[in-house]
Structure 1
């Protein structure tokens, strides 16, 4: 009877598990070294499965030394059971040659009766790795072999694979993340490129030092413990000297040529020194060190930029660097770009900083990256995206970001929490009314309701304001009735909205009714916004649209008395507006005036007393106080309203044309060194200036104004076109009037009542319609040429069109001469 080789091997294996041969060292020498890499995972997750008949089979390479010790302590009566389980595990781990040689022997027959415990060789994982169940969602740790393979493919030094592996697995276990192969590759690549030293200068050292300097800066004190902050050694001082001398030149070359270990040893010390001593130079240093294959750790970069942004943003927001003059926003986008975001546990504050400061494309890129990589983010980060898209006027993306908030399952940020409702209020400011098959309705509000948002009073205030902005007073009245029926309490925002609507419609009775309601509520009556709106309504119905029979002096003093009840009168005295003989009735302490209140009083004064010399004197004083940075008067320069009032007051006098030009020049070249951001001339400012020269029939000067508008890229609107048409009509320039009308229609502006009113100045209106017909024919000829030559370049087509229009205008001029 021949014996199968397996039958000879089995008694020898059983002999190895006898009492004298159970030493782990003996076992390792007899078979092979056990794979202890997955031992802990096996013991914690599969202990029960390995001991049950239906559990997964594992080789003895998965057993740890502690298990072997526990086996040694078992009583002798349990040796047979232990041997039986060990033999089954051994048979499941046989080599391929053993399975082929003894497929028909008694051992294989026993394997067939235990299919639940011994898997097929094609489905079995390599020896030493526990099998993963299909429904098991527990995080799987990354192996060192995988880390090395990924780092090798990315051209990274595998000498740091152990450190990368340790950090990745710690984060996976802490965050309980389940990563696919692509995510593992990205996470490994990002970690492998990060430079940090694990010998005394790792992340733990960084956090302690950063906390120390941040608190010192926040509380405006000295650093308590300098020993925790890395200091510069000899090599670091040499690098610092090159940074101060030529950061984008010599230092860049030295840094790129340095070894990874040198970068890791010097980066932290250099960063801390620059943050404390020269934050502006730190930005150049950071941009240089972020280039290349090896970069600073994302957590460290985030901390540094948060430090700079929190304490130095006002100084560095206009920072520029490099030959292309890169801005502060570009620096944030480059150093915190989404491609460098850690996948497992990204610093949320760094991502939010990127979203706040990035340009529109960068914000959209951040949103796409977070969704594509399935980065684990917090509700605050998601709401930051909602707020940023709202600021950019992108309502669709803001709604898409808001829909993801419930998926985060944060109990502090439900759809009806205060944080979410505040963002919904801001988002509703972009709401519009649109006509659909179901009728006329708001665009954003229904989508918020579908998400489960229950509008509070603040949201309803925004809805009420949007309803009135549509121009449909009945829609606003319906919303107001709904708020009343639902017992919403009216606040200052509600009354400001109602007063604004009543003033815009000229409903003086409704204004008085609302003022009476406000007077009955002391808290609302003292609200500065409500007080300013009431003051503005009084200005509109008395000074702005003054009756012919009204006394200008009486109107001015009426407004001055009302102003004196609310604000301090001193700024008006400094502007030389208050007459010396005026004595206020109540001289008690009052709050400083708001810019709106000051603007109303200046506009009232000009409408009641319009002497050119007085206006010029007040503007000279106003410009002087703005250059000095007056705390109350200088903020008026932040908008164009006050400047426009000066232009309107001066435009009727031909002696004030030079003063009008000077006002616009002061706006184009504001004084430097003040905290106020001065406004540039708006399209309304340019239109008023253009009307000044058209009114006085200074055609050459008006053409110069239009050239300046084109130089400053000021687009014409309906007001500008009407002014131009008015000027040409006054000057009896028929061809130019016709061309301006055609250009106005071409840009999408319809001829309105103001346009027709300007055409009344023409002595021969029939010639205008002849000119319009001539221009229509020239346009048709240009379109015919365009259709017959489809391959002609666009530039040639534009030139040809201009030539045809010029020919039409020339024909009109010849006809005019022949009639004369």
Structure 2
């Protein structure tokens, strides 16, 4: 029997991954009857455990509509009414997809108040798509498809859609390859009437043009929309977005395919310019226009433009993505594996594990030979999904949440997936679980790559296992390709910093430690940025042995921290900070990225906090973080919890309680809640100042916010000269809190008693009146 939760997780890993006769979806240990061996071996040799469907069963579109645990229950009712067969592999008895009758098309158009004269073109287009895609639609799906096509202003007989496709393809290629259009005649151009419409758009798009466009007929809109769209896309993309909003209102709108093409063009070539664009009194942004113009309610059921749908999934806000997923399932919109993987990727970005798994479960039902559950495209998305995996307590004990479900789908982990599983195993805090995973990878002859060694080095450093780090470094040195990998090299550099500079031995020579780190840095990176920061001593001679790669922000941070921790005068730290701030303001390509996190700023604060002359410099550093320089190409970091805690410790260390109170006010102003470190610093300051009532109040407030008094709190209380007074003060606070609760409780009871008395009195009066009315008249 295994009673330790960590051992239970390890046992399940071994039961899953080690047993030779386990199906890909089997997670728990169990004994198999002899007659099931053949079936298990068959399951192990196939990529999917999904059973094959018979010819008379529902196909992909219907299966995709089944409700899942994270979807609303009403979806099940919708799905049952929208049974759609979309699998091109049909029974030999079938005579082909069911044709849509012209009568059904007219009835659907009439119900929405659309033109009956378009019935012929809508009928022909819809039947052509059904035959091409080999889809059979339910009556409700036919109605939705008819209305979707009937709203398009390009349903009249003609070559409008074909002309658009040829023109857009040439227009897009010209922009992509930065060349002129080869055949200008295929691009719709503005005539005299179109130029007059363009003038209205440029004058007042949301006013004059909107009223004018609403008053025109369908033929006028179809004649001018394409030419206006191409001109605006080429000359004024911002104005095009306003033009698109206006023309998408009403019953008659541009074809969904055209709208999707235009927005793909804008997104591919102008996203960086337009991502902060807003319009209208409500300041609608770029994501809103994608959601409005490509809303799922307008998606065609048959042959939808999947690139446009994937654009919606990528750019829509969380609610819009969930709405799109529900709509595709409820209406059985024809989809592709790439679109499903786009849903998986987006849900992973949003941290929505359940919906990501539900989207992934639909992949096998598409029967796409390119995107099987063990294809590279699907496995890459599984790796991203596994980065969200955690260990949870379930009905059968502690277990990983995501990995078992992936295995039940038939996914066979490759090396990249096992690397993520290995990292997740170490994150649980159970070193033996990680060792078991590593042993499994070794037994299965997985080749270790840079990701594997970075994970192993990270775990060894976090445990302080210096011997294991040296062992891993020897393994890396024997493999030239991995040794030259920048991520592995930086991790080895970090491990050297942790064991030499960060936790420096009391007998170590600080100068020797610094030069040791500098030599290792010089072997990996260009030393010029350190010279720009004025950190390199004048007499140091760097080795020139060929071109070296620029340092990563992590490598630069490590060298700055090493320089400060190995002993540096306050004046030097102040000088280096002035230089650092100047380079950040100038946008130095290597130094400026350090301002994206608080780590470097925190190192400056730590280096300055013990000097009473540097308190003003500490405040200035935090002010610089709160008011970053303008025109920065990076997002400047704001002060973190750790930054505020270090600044607060500066004034507590130098016994400046008034200044410490000012820092607490600044934290409240910037809505920075206290954590356990902050409370311990406050208690330390009050205890040092012998403020017993304030110390007791801070302790009570710390407990009220859910933080337990720890060893650091007890250590701070040793500064009190009369600790007995502290416990008296704590008892007084407890007694006052109890009395306040009693008063509050009695007040509540009294008010309840008064309400009961009033209610009884009103009832008595009502009964008396009723009795008076029922008395017989004399």
TM class by smaller structure: 0.7 to 0.9
Query: Residue 441 of structure 1: SS of its match in structure 2?
Result: strand
1:541 and 2:499 aligned: yes
1:712 and 2:673 aligned: no
Equivalent residue, structure 2, for 1:680: 638
Matches within 5 A, 1:780-795: 780=738
Equivalent residue, structure 2, for 1:614: 572
Query: Residue 361 of structure 1: SS of its match in structure 2?
Result: helix
Deviation at 1:169, TM superposition (A): 1.7
Would you say the 8 A contact 2:502–2:562 is kept in 1?
yes
Equivalent residue, structure 2, for 1:226: 184
Would you say the 8 A contact 1:151–1:188 is kept in 2?
yes
Would you say the 8 A contact 1:213–1:223 is kept in 2?
yes
Would you say the 8 A contact 2:118–2:155 is kept in 1?
no
Query: Residue 419 of structure 2: SS of its match in structure 1?
Result: helix
Equivalent residue, structure 2, for 1:438: 396
Separation of aligned partners in 1, 2:563 and 2:164: 62
Equivalent residue, structure 1, for 2:541: 583
Equivalent residue, structure 1, for 2:377: 419
Separation of aligned partners in 2, 1:789 and 1:348: 65
Question: Structure 1 length as normaliser, TM-score?
Answer: 0.77
Query: Residue 398 of structure 2: SS of its match in structure 1?
Result: strand
Matches within 5 A, 1:442-453: 442-453=400-411
Separation of aligned partners in 1, 2:294 and 2:746: 53
Question: Structure 2 length as normaliser, TM-score?
Answer: 0.81
Distance 1:146 1:691, change over 3 A: same
Provide, for residues 676-702 of structure 1, a one-character-per-residue CA deviation record: whole Å limited to 9, x for no partner.
232222222222223223333333433
Separation of aligned partners in 1, 2:219 and 2:726: 81
1:285 and 2:243 aligned: yes
Equivalent residue, structure 2, for 1:256: 214
Separation of aligned partners in 1, 2:281 and 2:684: 48
Question: Where does structure 2 lack aligned partners over 5 or more consecutive residues?
Answer: 1-90, 752-778
1:364 and 2:322 aligned: yes
Equivalent residue, structure 2, for 1:167: 125
Separation of aligned partners in 2, 1:370 and 1:494: 39
Deviation at 1:782, TM superposition (A): 5.5
Separation of aligned partners in 2, 1:396 and 1:585: 54
Separation of aligned partners in 2, 1:602 and 1:738: 40
Matches within 5 A, 1:275-314: 275-314=233-272
Separation of aligned partners in 2, 1:737 and 1:495: 48
Separation of aligned partners in 1, 2:396 and 2:507: 52
Separation of aligned partners in 1, 2:182 and 2:493: 54
Separation of aligned partners in 2, 1:597 and 1:723: 31
1:239 and 2:205 aligned: no
Query: Residue 195 of structure 1: SS of its match in structure 2?
Result: coil
Over the residues paired in the alignment, what is the CA RMSD in angstroms? 2.4
Distance 1:214 1:507, change over 3 A: same
Count residues with an aligned counterpart. 661
Separation of aligned partners in 2, 1:551 and 1:172: 80
Would you say the 8 A contact 1:355–1:385 is kept in 2?
yes
Structure 1 counterpart of 2:515, from 557, 561, 569: 557
Would you say the 8 A contact 1:137–1:178 is kept in 2?
no
Separation of aligned partners in 2, 1:226 and 1:791: 85
Equivalent residue, structure 2, for 1:767: 725
From the CA coordinates, give the structure whose radius of gyration is larger: 1
Separation of aligned partners in 2, 1:635 and 1:620: 16
Query: Residue 279 of structure 2: SS of its match in structure 1?
Result: coil
Distance 1:210 1:777, change over 3 A: farther
Larger deviation: 406-415 or 237-246?
Answer: 237-246
Would you say the 8 A contact 2:277–2:285 is kept in 1?
yes
Distance 1:747 1:289, change over 3 A: farther
Structure 2 counterpart of 1:318, from 269, 273, 276: 276
Provide, for residues 334-364 of structure 1, a one-character-per-residue CA deviation record: whole Å limited to 9, x for no partner.
2211111111121111111111111111111
Separation of aligned partners in 1, 2:743 and 2:208: 60
Separation of aligned partners in 1, 2:743 and 2:346: 48
Separation of aligned partners in 1, 2:750 and 2:329: 45
Provide, for residues 6-33 of structure 1, a one-character-per-residue CA deviation record: whole Å limited to 9, x for no partner.
xxxxxxxxxxxxxxxxxxxxxxxxxxxx
Deviation at 1:605, TM superposition (A): 0.9
Deviation at 1:282, TM superposition (A): 1.7
Deviation at 1:437, TM superposition (A): 4.6
Separation of aligned partners in 1, 2:98 and 2:574: 78
Would you say the 8 A contact 1:197–1:261 is kept in 2?
no
Query: Residue 284 of structure 2: SS of its match in structure 1?
Result: coil
Separation of aligned partners in 1, 2:655 and 2:221: 71
1:599 and 2:557 aligned: yes
Separation of aligned partners in 2, 1:790 and 1:386: 53
1:638 and 2:617 aligned: no
Distance 1:186 1:199, change over 3 A: closer
Provide, for residues 766-785 of structure 1, a one-character-per-residue CA deviation record: whole Å limited to 9, x for no partner.
33334444444455556556
Distance 1:610 1:299, change over 3 A: same
Deviation at 1:312, TM superposition (A): 1.5
1:349 and 2:307 aligned: yes
